[in-house]
Amino acid sequence: MNISMDNFNKFNKFHTRFSFFVCFMTALAGLLFGLDIGVIAGALPFLSMDLMITHHQQEWVVSSMMFGAAIGAFCAGWISAKFGRRSSLLFGAILFIVGSLWSAFSLNVESLIIARILLGLAVGITSYTAPLYLSEIAPEKIRGSMISMYQLMITIGILVAYLSDTVFSYSGSWRWMLGIITIPAVLLFIGVLFLPGSPRWLAFHGRYKEAKKVLNMLRDSKEQVKKELNEIQDSLKIEQSGWQLFKENNNFRRAVFLGILLQIMQQFTGMNVIMYYAPKIFCLAGFNDTINQMWGTVFVGLINVLSTFIAISLVDNWGRKPTLKLGFGVMSVSMIILSFLLLIGVNNSFQKYFSVIMLMFFIIGFAMSAGPLVWVLCSEIQPLKGRDFGITISTSTNWIANMIVGATFLTMLEKFGNSNTFLFYGLLNFIFILITIKFVPETKNVSLEHIEKNLMKGKSLRNIGI
């Protein structure tokens, strides 16, 4: 009896370790995502001087990655559906390697923009595939935490990029800032080679034996595997899929439109404005020394990482919806206060540091809520036969909105002023609280198939997790 119990415990430990290995390696794609978002903030001042580029060209260097990401996310649906989640991640890793090296050796702004578009393709493909793969691999009780790990890796990537930028800023070596990303890109490629296929993708393609084999590696009991396989088979009974399902099924259209709305909300919180233009914002707050701006940016990245742990601890316990409402509230208040400080002028040390505190509160609000939870929800609300299509649309929306925000921020500062620009984002976050109350469902501890069943029955969106 003791021997069999020991074997049982070893069996469970193996499944737990393997599940976390799979989730960690997939989330490594988030690290590359974060590195490419964060690195440009520190490199931009130096490459702007070296390549002699204008403010408008700077906006294109920043937003070109989002343009590529929108295309990458749109193509990722087809790649992932046709060749599988694992192959999609491998392709993304290759693009990361090529794009990083190209960026480092760019001789002019046109070449750099093309390299950034390539990196955008990689980011778009992996930002689509990684949360989707994690949602299909992770057990329902820890699904939210595992997908949030992807966002944690994004924030770690941003922090590492800021640290790297700060180290290289003393010599102004922007090529090293951009090129060093090649190292984790190679690690991602190697790691993905050891990942299993998604059991839901395998079942969708009629490969039930392989799907069962993967689930046996990831789940604690044969009963759990059998139950999950039966639920997957039931969800595959819907005759239409993809675009056909979107055209003919109003319930699926509701899920797609909710995914679009969630991604627009995430981008228009204003968080990526801070990520892309952090040194510029510290300059507005009265920190005129370049080195102080760089170390301030590192502090932004550190707060972002630490705050994401709040989301990981809350998402599967407190839930998605209350965490989102709290986060939008914190972001709204901090942005409005920051707007007021910029209106009256940052004239002394107290005002300078208080404005930084408000900036930190904003980052905490985002990192604990909209940052990870939008990816969690978008991967949970789509039915299996429409999942590739639905997440393609929502992820593409994310990057289109991201591109708009990145390409307009400096222009908004010039035309509307610093205070009005931050007030605009503060008011948007207040509106997002109301939208969350009205439309967003609570999906903690609910299987993907149960959410799908409620959606297809016509339940209101906010009740599909009940």
Question: Longest C-alpha distance within the chain, in Å?
Answer: 76
Instruction: Label residues 37-63 b or e (16+ Cβ within 10 Å = b).
Output: bbbbbbbbbbbbeebebeeebbbbbbb
Write the single-letter amino acid at 192: V
Task: Kindly state the tokens that stand for 419.
Answer: 């205070």
Distance (Å) of CA 280 to CA 65, 162, 295, 359: 19, 14, 13, 13
Helices 250-267 & 448-457 angle (0-180, nearest 10):
120
Length reported for the chain: 466
User: Are 228 and 166 in contact, with CB atoms under 8 Å apart?
Assistant: no
User: Are 26 and 89 in contact, with CB atoms under 8 Å apart?
Assistant: yes
Task: Kindly state the tokens that stand for 211.
Answer: 């799907």
Task: Kindly state the tokens that stand for 137.
Answer: 């691999």
Distance CA 26, CA 188 (A): 8
Distance CA 195, CA 192 (A): 5
Q: Which helix (H) or strand (E) holds 283?
A: helix 278-284
Instruction: Label residues 392-421 b or e (16+ Cβ within 10 Å = b).
Output: bbbbbbbbbbbbebbbebbebbeeeebbeb
pTM, to two decimals: 0.77
Distance CA 200, CA 211 (A): 7
CA torsion 352→161→46→298, rounded to 10°? 20
Q: DSSP class of residue 348?
A: S
Distance CA 303, CA 236 (A): 43
Q: pLDDT at position 11, please?
A: 38
Alpha helices in 315-369 (DSSP H): 320-344, 349-367
Distance (Å) of CA 441 to CA 118, 336, 402: 35, 28, 24
Beta strands in 106-179 (DSSP E): none
Q: pLDDT at position 413, please?
A: 79
Q: pLDDT at position 190, please?
A: 92
Q: pLDDT at position 354, please?
A: 84
Q: pLDDT at position 16, please?
A: 61
Query: Which residue ranges of the chain lie beneath pLDDT 50?
Result: 1-11, 14
User: Are 199 and 136 in contact, with CB atoms under 8 Å apart?
Assistant: yes
